[in-house]
A and B are shown apart, each in its own frame.
Chain A
Amino acid sequence: MTKEIQKSSLKYIVAVAFAVIAAALYLFWAFPYRAALGYREEMQLFQTTGTYFAGFALRPAGIAIYIGEFLTQFFNNYWIGGAVMSLLMVMFGLSCYVICNKFTSGHSKTNNLLLSLIPLTFLWRFFGNQDVTLGFITALLIVTFGTYLYVSTDYDYPSAEKCLRVIVATSLLYWVAGPITIVFTLLIIAFTCSSRQISVGKKAIVATVAILAIIANIYLWSIFITYPFSYQLIGIGYLLTPDVLNSYQLIFEALCVIVPIAAHLMARGNASTKRILPILVLFVVVPAVIRYSKSYDKTTYRLIDYDYMVRANDWEGILRYSDAHNPDLPLSVSATNLALGMTGQLDSRAFDYYQNGTEGLIPPFSKEAISSWTTAEIFFQLGMINSAQRFYYEGMEAIPNYNKSSRAVKRLAEIAMIRGEYKLAEKYLRMLENTIFYRKWAQRNLEQIKDLTAIAPPIYCQLRQRMIDEDYLFSEAELDKTLGQLFIKDPGNDLARQYLILYPLLQRDLDKFVQYMGVVAESLPQYNPLLAQQALAFISMKNGQPIPKNMVSPMVEQSLRGFAQAWTSKNPELIEPHRHTLFHYLISNE
C-alpha cells in the first residue's frame, strides 16, 4: 500500500517537475529569446508539397529534418513557437527519464528523474547555438524513442533474431534520424551488456553486429549522398552550418549515452551512492543553468534581436532596444539609423547613438544572410527596389545549408509586384501558398495580381513611385548621389532626405553637406533639422564667421560653445558629456 502511494506520488512529482520545466522553457523561448525562433523560421521555406518532401526522403536524417522544418514554421508565431520548443525539449527530458527507468528496471525513479535533467540542461545549452535546427531535436527524439522501443521489447530472442532486430532498427533509424543513431547503438550495447540473463557470447555478438550495422549504414549512404563524408558524420541538417562540428554536440550526444548507464550503475550501488546523486546533479545542472549565457552569446543574440525587429518593422522597438544596449556593431548601427529615419528622428538624433561612418547608414554587401537582409530592408524603405531585391536574394543564397527563406521569398514577391513583374510575383506567391503561415497572404496577393485594375496596397504604389527613373550601375562609392536622386524624384521621401543629409556629415564632408542642403532646400525651403543647425553652426565657427541666428537656435549655439570650451580645455571629463554630438564626431575622427 505504502509502495503504491509512493509510486503515485512519484508520478505526481515527475509530472509537476516536467510541467515546471516546460513552463520555464516556454517563458524563455516565447519572451527573451523569441527572436531566435524568428531567426530559425526565416532560414527555411517549408512547403507542404510532395516535391518538397522528396528532397528530404533520400538522405540520412532527411525525415527528421523534414519534421523539424515542419515544426519550425510555427516559430512564425512566437506564442506557438515557444510552446513547440518547450514541448520538444520536455519530450526529450521525459524520454531520457523513461530510458533510465528501463536501464534500472523501474527502480530508483527519483534518481532517474534527477539524472535526466543533465542531458536536458545540456540540450537547452546546445540550442544556445542559433544554428542548431529543430531537425536535430527531432532526430534525437526519434532515436530516443527507438531506443525505448528496442529496450522495452528486448526479450530473450535467439542470437540471429536479436542481430536482425539490431540491423533493421539501426538502418531504419539511420535513414530517418541520421548519425545521431550512434546514441541508439551505444545504448543498446550498454543495455544488452547490463543484462544478467544474456550470455557473454551473445552480448559480444550483439555488440559487434550493432557496431558493424552503423558503420555499414554510414558507408552505404556515403556512396549515394552528394555531401562530403564529414558532413554525414556531423549530421546533414542538424545545424544550419553543415560543415561545422560543434563540440557541444559531441558532449551532448555522449551524455545521452552516459546518463542511462550512470543510472544503471547507481541503481546497483549502495544507499550512500544514491544519496550523493542529488548533490552531484545539483553541481552539474545548477551552474549550467546559471551560466547559460556562455552558450547564448550576447553579441550574437543582440544581432538576432535587431534582425527580428527589422523584419517586423518594429522601429519603436529598435529604438527602445538601442537605448538600453548602446548599438556599436555594423548591423545594430544601421538598424538603429533605419529606425530613427523611419520615425523621422535621424536628422536630429543620429548622434545620440554611436556612428561608424556611412557604412552605418548603408552597410556594404557581405555574404551573410541577416546583415544582407537588414541592408536590403534599408534599400526597400528608401525605394531602391532593385538593390533591395539583390540583397534579399543574395542573403537567401548565403544561407549555409542551401535552404531558401520564407522571409526573403515574401519580400521578393512584394518587390516583383512593385516592379510590375507579375509572372515572377505569381511564382513566389504560389510557393508561399504551399505554406501554412503565408498562405492567406499569398492568396490575397494572387487575387490582386489577377485583377491588375484592383487598387494595389498603398505601400507598393508609394514604393513604385519612389523608384528613380534613370538607370545606371550600382556604386557603393556614390550612394549619396542615388539618395539625392531618390529625394528629387519624390521630395516626400523622408527617409531618403534624412539619409542624404546625414551621409556627408558621416563622411565629415561639410562642403558636400552644404551642397545637399541646397538640393533639399529647393523642394523644402523650411527644412532645418537639428543636425543641419548643428552643422551650420559648426561651419560658421570653423570659418570664423558669426553663427546665423535666423537658422541656428540659441540652444544649438549654446551647445556648440559648450563643446568648444570643453574641447579646447582637452579635459576628458569635460569632453565626455559631448561625446554623443555631431560636433564631437566632426572634430574627433573617432
Chain B
Amino acid sequence: MKYKSHTESTQRIINALQCFVCCLLFVLTGCVEKPTDVKKVNFLPTIFPDYVGVTIPAEIAPLNFSVEGAERVDVTVKGENGGELHSNGKYADFDIDKWHNLIEENKGKTLTVSVCAKIEGKWIQYEDFPVNVSQYPLDEYGLTYRRIAPGYEVYSKMGIYQRNLSNFAEDAIIENTMTDGQCYNCHTPNRTNPKDFVFHVRGEHGATMISKKGECTWLKASNDTLGGAMVYPYWHPEGRYCTFSTNQTRQGFHISGHKRLEVFDLSSDVIVYDTEKNEILRDTLLNTKAWSENTPSFSPDGKWLYFTTCLQKNYPLEHKDEKYNLCRIAFDPNTGRFGSQVDTLFNAVAMDKSVTWPRPSYDGKYMLFTLSDYGYFSIWHKESDQWLLDLATGEARPVEEINSDEADSFHNWSDNSRWVVFTSRRGDGLYSNLYLTSIDDKGRFSKPFLLPQKNPEEYYTQSLFSFNTPDFTKEKVEFDTRAAVDAILSDERIPTKVR
C-alpha cells in the first residue's frame, strides 16, 4: 500500500479549494446578466403580482415580482425623494433592508420601477410604472389568517398563521397536524390587539378558545340552549364582551354550473358572551325563529351591535332565497342589555341581494360589507363584491376600485382605519388570496395589491391553500401552542351559562 506524503495531501486540498472557489465565482458571476442590445417598447410589462400603480404602506415587505415569459429581469426602482434599488435575476427579488430604506425615504411619494426583461433571448425595456408609498402608516406588525384548502367536507393540513408584513416570515399560531387533523377557524383579535383573541376548534375536541391578556379559557363549543355552535366572533371594543352567531350550518354541492358549494343554516341567532361572568346574553330580537340572525359585529364605540338577518326558508330547496339585510340594535355595555328596536341599515333584500361580513371601520366612519346574490358564505359566490356604507350619510356604494370578476369576500380594517385586508379569488377563481388596499380621506380605495411573497410566482402557483378570515395584528401573537394542544386534547371545557 502506498501512502501519500503530507505535502501531496495538502496540495490536493488546496487544489480542491481553488476549484471550489472558481466554481463559486463562476456561479455568482453567472447569476448577474446585464442587459445588452435593449429594445425599448411603449407598453407596460405583464408582471405577477400586478403591482403597477399600487399604493403601499411604508412598512410593507419588498414587492418582488416576475415578468411573464421572462428568462431574466433587470429591475431598477427609483424614489421620487431619492434612493435607488436594483435587482437582476430570474425575478425581481429586492434586498429587504435596502427596500425599507428606500420606501422610508419616499413616504408619501412615488417610486418609479424600470423593468428590463430577457424574453426569448432578447432584452426588452418596458415603460416605467409607478408604485405609490402611502403617507398613512400601517401601524401593524402583520396579518393573521387561516390557510386551508378550499375543499368541501374534508380538509387536509390547515392552520392559523401570522405573517410579518415587513418581511416574508410566516409562523403557525396553531396547525392541525399537532392535534390529529382538527379544524381551527375564525381567529379574531380585538381591534388587532393580539393579547385578546378568540378562535374555534371543530371536530372531536371541539372548543371555543378565548384568550384575554394571554390567559386562555376553553369553552364548550356549544350550549344545549343555543341553536348551534358559537361562530363568527367579533369583540366589543372594551374587551369584556364578544359577540357570536350560533349556526346550524349545512352544505350543499352544485350539480352543474360554475358554483361549487353552498353554505346555509337550518337556524342561526346572535348572542353576546360576557367573558367576565362566563355568561351568554340573548335577546328575543336576536333569537327569532322565523329569522336567521348572523355575522355580528360591534360598533367602535361599543353602543351598537350590527348583524345580518334573513327570513328563514326551507333549505336546501330554497337556498337561493336566503337573502340577508344589514341591521343594528343598541347595546349597553354597562348592563349587557340590548335596545328594543332593530334598525335596517342596508336593505339588500330590496335589491334582491344579500349582505354578509359587516365590519365597521374603527374610526366609526364606514361599514365595509360583502354583497352577493344570495346566502352569506360569499367566498363561494363569484359575484360577491365589497360595498362601503358611509355611516354618517347612510349611502352605500360598490367599491369598484377594489372589486373583481371573481369572489371578493371577507375583510378587516387596520387599527388606524387606513388599510383594509380582504380575500379575493381573482387570481384563479378558486384559491382565495389576501389583498391590501388603503382608503383616503374621501373614502376612495387604492388599487389593491397581493400579499407580497419572496418568490410570488412560485409561491402562489404551488400553494393549494386558500387564505381566509384575515385580520391585522398590532404585534406578534404570543401563544403557547404546546399548552394549547394539551388543552385541546384534554377535552376539559368550561360550560357556558345563559342569562
Q: Are A384 and B255 in contact (CB under 8 A)?
A: yes
Bound together, the chains give a CA A214 to CA B151 distance in angstroms of 40
Question: Which single member of A394, A402, A424, A434 contacts B429 (CB below 8 Å)?
Answer: A424
Q: At the interface, yes or no: A404 with Cβ under 8 Å from chain B? A: yes
Q: At the interface, yes or no: A67 with Cβ under 8 Å from chain B? A: no
Closest to B159 in A: A226
B458 CB to closest chain A CB, in angstroms?
5
Q: At the interface, yes or no: B27 with Cβ under 8 Å from chain A? A: no
What chain A residues lie within 8 Å of B259 (beta carbons)?
Answer: 471
Question: Which single member of B256, B257, B462 contacts A51 (CB below 8 Å)?
Answer: B462
- List residues of chain B with CB under 8 Å of any chain A CB: 149, 151-157, 159, 172, 175, 177-180, 252-260, 262, 316, 319, 427-431, 455, 458-459, 461-462, 464, 481, 485
B329 CB to closest chain A CB, in angstroms?
33
| Segment with Cβ contacts to B, from A21-29, A95-103, A385-393 | A385-393
What chain A residues lie within 8 Å of B316 (beta carbons)?
Answer: 473
Bound together, the chains give a CA A484 to CA B473 distance in angstroms of 53
Q: Are B462 and A52 in contact (CB under 8 A)?
A: yes
Q: Could you jot down 29 A-B contacts, CB within 8 Å?
A: A47-B462, A49-B458, A50-B455, A51-B462, A227-B178, A384-B255, A386-B254, A386-B257, A387-B253, A393-B149, A393-B152, A396-B156, A397-B156, A398-B154, A402-B177, A419-B258, A423-B427, A423-B429, A430-B461, A431-B464, A434-B462, A469-B256, A470-B256, A471-B255, A471-B256, A472-B255, A472-B256, A473-B262, A474-B253
| Given A228-B180, A243-B180, A431-B462, 8 new contacts (CB under 8 A) | A51-B459, A228-B179, A228-B485, A393-B149, A394-B152, A419-B258, A427-B431, A473-B319
What chain A residues lie within 8 Å of B431 (beta carbons)?
Answer: 427
Bound together, the chains give a CA A161 to CA B404 distance in angstroms of 65
Q: Are A226 and B156 in contact (CB under 8 A)?
A: no
Q: Are B428 and A423 in contact (CB under 8 A)?
A: yes
What chain A residues lie within 8 Å of B254 (beta carbons)?
Answer: 386, 471-474
Q: Are B429 and A393 in contact (CB under 8 A)?
A: no
Bound together, the chains give a CA A193 to CA B6 distance in angstroms of 33
Bound together, the chains give a CA A472 to CA B256 distance in angstroms of 7
Q: Are A402 and B455 in contact (CB under 8 A)?
A: no
Bound together, the chains give a CA A472 to CA B320 distance in angstroms of 10
Bound together, the chains give a CA A398 to CA B155 distance in angstroms of 7
What chain A residues lie within 8 Å of B175 (beta carbons)?
Answer: 226
Bound together, the chains give a CA A505 to CA B257 distance in angstroms of 30
What chain A residues lie within 8 Å of B462 (beta carbons)?
Answer: 47, 49, 51-52, 431, 434
What chain A residues lie within 8 Å of B430 (beta carbons)?
Answer: 421, 424
Q: Are B154 and A468 in contact (CB under 8 A)?
A: no
Q: Are B256 and A386 in contact (CB under 8 A)?
A: yes
Using known A-B contacts A50-B458, A384-B255, determine if residue A402 contacts B319 with beta carbons closer than 8 Å. no
Q: Are B156 and A399 in contact (CB under 8 A)?
A: yes
What chain B residues lie within 8 Å of A384 (beta carbons)?
Answer: 255
What chain A residues lie within 8 Å of B149 (beta carbons)?
Answer: 393, 397
Q: Which of A47, A384, A390, A468 has the most CB of B within 10 A?
A: A390
Pick the 10 closest A-B CB pairs, nearest first: A473-B252, A402-B157, A471-B257, A397-B154, A474-B253, A423-B428, A226-B175, A397-B156, A424-B428, A471-B256
A335 CB to closest chain B CB, in angstroms?
21
Q: Are B255 and A387 in contact (CB under 8 A)?
A: yes
What chain B residues lie within 8 Å of A275 (beta carbons)?
Answer: none
Q: Are B256 and A468 in contact (CB under 8 A)?
A: yes
What chain B residues lie within 8 Å of A434 (beta carbons)?
Answer: 462
Closest to B172 in A: A226
What chain B residues lie within 8 Å of A52 (beta carbons)?
Answer: 462
Using known A-B contacts A52-B462, A473-B319, determine if residue A426 contacts B255 with beta carbons closer than 8 Å. no
Q: Are A404 and B255 in contact (CB under 8 A)?
A: no
Question: Which single member of B153, B156, B178 contacts A402 (CB below 8 Å)?
Answer: B156
A114 CB to closest chain B CB, in angstroms?
31
Bound together, the chains give a CA A226 to CA B430 distance in angstroms of 27
Q: Compute the total of residue contacts between A and B using a CB distance below 8 Å.
A: 107
Q: At the interface, yes or no: A467 with Cβ under 8 Å from chain B? A: yes
Q: Are A390 and B253 in contact (CB under 8 A)?
A: yes
Bound together, the chains give a CA A226 to CA B485 distance in angstroms of 10
Bound together, the chains give a CA A248 to CA B37 distance in angstroms of 65
Using known A-B contacts A227-B178, A228-B180, determine if residue A394 contacts B256 with beta carbons closer than 8 Å. no
> What does the 1/0 interface line of A226-247 toward B look like (CB < 8 Å)?
1110000000000000010000
Contact-residue size bin, chain A (C-beta under 8 Å from the other chain): 35 or more
Q: Are A386 and B255 in contact (CB under 8 A)?
A: yes
Q: Are B178 and A386 in contact (CB under 8 A)?
A: no
Question: Which single member of A51, A228, A390 contacts B152 (CB below 8 Å)?
Answer: A390
Question: Which single member of A227, A397, A427, A430 contacts B151 (CB below 8 Å)?
Answer: A397
Q: At the interface, yes or no: A482 with Cβ under 8 Å from chain B? A: yes
Bound together, the chains give a CA A468 to CA B257 distance in angstroms of 8
- List residues of chain A with CB under 8 Å of any chain B CB: 47, 49-52, 226-228, 243, 365, 367, 384-387, 389-390, 393-394, 396-399, 402, 404, 419, 421, 423-424, 426-427, 430-431, 434, 467-474, 482
A367 CB to closest chain B CB, in angstroms?
5
Q: Are A389 and B156 in contact (CB under 8 A)?
A: no
Using known A-B contacts A397-B149, A397-B154, A419-B258, determine if residue A386 contacts B253 with beta carbons closer than 8 Å. yes
Closest to A228 in B: B178
What chain A residues lie within 8 Å of B255 (beta carbons)?
Answer: 384, 386-387, 468, 471-474, 482
Bound together, the chains give a CA A473 to CA B458 distance in angstroms of 36
What chain A residues lie within 8 Å of B155 (beta carbons)?
Answer: 397
Q: Are A226 and B429 in contact (CB under 8 A)?
A: no
Bound together, the chains give a CA A489 to CA B72 distance in angstroms of 50
Closest to B149 in A: A397
Using known A-B contacts A228-B179, A228-B180, A474-B253, determine if residue A426 contacts B428 with beta carbons closer than 8 Å. yes
Bound together, the chains give a CA A473 to CA B319 distance in angstroms of 9
What chain B residues lie within 8 Å of A424 (beta carbons)?
Answer: 428-430
Using known A-B contacts A397-B154, A427-B431, A431-B461, determine if residue A390 contacts B177 with beta carbons closer than 8 Å. no
Closest to A429 in B: B461
What chain B residues lie within 8 Å of A471 (beta carbons)?
Answer: 254-257, 259
What chain B residues lie within 8 Å of A227 (beta carbons)?
Answer: 177-178
Bound together, the chains give a CA A482 to CA B153 distance in angstroms of 22
What chain A residues lie within 8 Å of B154 (beta carbons)?
Answer: 367, 394, 397-398
What chain A residues lie within 8 Å of B464 (beta carbons)?
Answer: 404, 431
A66 CB to closest chain B CB, in angstroms?
15
What chain A residues lie within 8 Å of B253 (beta carbons)?
Answer: 386-387, 390, 473-474
Q: Are B151 and A394 in contact (CB under 8 A)?
A: yes
Bound together, the chains give a CA A367 to CA B455 distance in angstroms of 34
What chain B residues lie within 8 Å of A430 (beta carbons)?
Answer: 461
Question: Which single member of A50, A390, A482 contacts B260 (CB below 8 Å)?
Answer: A390
Bound together, the chains give a CA A566 to CA B254 distance in angstroms of 48
What chain A residues lie within 8 Å of B427 (beta carbons)?
Answer: 423, 427
What chain A residues lie within 8 Å of B257 (beta carbons)?
Answer: 386, 471
What chain A residues lie within 8 Å of B156 (beta carbons)?
Answer: 396-399, 402, 404
What chain B residues lie within 8 Å of A50 (beta carbons)?
Answer: 455, 458
Question: Which single member of A404, A431, A467 contacts B256 (CB below 8 Å)?
Answer: A467
What chain B residues lie within 8 Å of A469 (beta carbons)?
Answer: 256
What chain A residues lie within 8 Å of B428 (beta carbons)?
Answer: 421, 423-424, 426-427
Bound together, the chains give a CA A228 to CA B252 distance in angstroms of 34
Q: Are A421 and B258 in contact (CB under 8 A)?
A: yes
What chain A residues lie within 8 Å of B179 (beta carbons)?
Answer: 228
Closest to B455 in A: A51
Bound together, the chains give a CA A15 to CA B24 distance in angstroms of 41
Q: Which of B152, B255, B459, B461 has the most CB of A within 10 A?
A: B255
Bound together, the chains give a CA A256 to CA B254 distance in angstroms of 54
Q: Which of A421, A468, A469, A474 has the most CB of B within 10 A?
A: A474
A45 CB to closest chain B CB, in angstroms?
9
What chain B residues lie within 8 Å of A426 (beta carbons)?
Answer: 428
B161 CB to closest chain A CB, in angstroms?
11
What chain B residues lie within 8 Å of A394 (beta carbons)?
Answer: 151-154
Bound together, the chains give a CA A426 to CA B172 distance in angstroms of 29
Q: Are A421 and B429 in contact (CB under 8 A)?
A: yes
Closest to A384 in B: B255
Bound together, the chains give a CA A113 to CA B65 distance in angstroms of 57
